Amino acid sequence: MARLLEGKPVAEKIRQDIVKEIETLGKKPVLASVMVGDNSGAEAYVKSQKKIAEALGVEYQLHKLSSGTTEHALAEFIEKLNKDKSVNGIIIQMPLPQQIDYKLISQHIQPDKDIEGMHPANIGKVVFGKAKLIPCTAAAVMELLNAAEVELKGKEVVVVGHSEIVGKPLALLLLDKLATVTVCHIGTFEAKKLEEHVRKAEILIVAVGKAELIPGDWVKDGAVVIDVGINRVGDRVVGDIEHEGAFRHASIITPVPGGVGPLTVVMLMRNLVEAAKLQK
Contact footprint for ligand NAD (CB under 6 A): 137, 160-163, 165-167, 184-186, 188-189, 194, 207-210, 213, 228-231, 260-261, 264
* Main-chain phi, psi angles of 209, to 5 degrees: 95, 30
Return the number of the residue (58 or 213) whose C-beta is nearest ligand NAD: 213
CA distances from 136 to 31, 85, 139, 211, 215 (A): 15, 24, 5, 22, 27
H helix or E strand, kind and range, residue 72: helix 71-83
Return the number of the residue (77 or 167) whose C-beta is nearest ligand NAD: 167
Return the number of the residue (95 or 222) whose C-beta is nearest ligand NAD: 95
CB of 33 vs ligand NAD, minimal distance in Å? 17
Cα–Cα distance, 254 to 251 (Å, whole number) = 11
161 alpha carbon, distance to own chain's centre: 13
CB of 254 vs ligand NAD, minimal distance in Å? 9
CB of 247 vs ligand NAD, minimal distance in Å? 18
Return the number of the residue (119 or 162) whose C-beta is nearest ligand NAD: 162
* Main-chain phi, psi angles of 74, to 5 degrees: -65, -40
**Cβ(208)–Cβ(235) below 8 Å:** no
Return the number of the residue (228 or 276) whose C-beta is nearest ligand NAD: 228
- For 110, the 3-state DSSP assignment is coil
CB of 196 vs ligand NAD, minimal distance in Å? 13
Cis peptide bond N-terminal to 135, omega within 30: no
CB of 138 vs ligand NAD, minimal distance in Å? 9
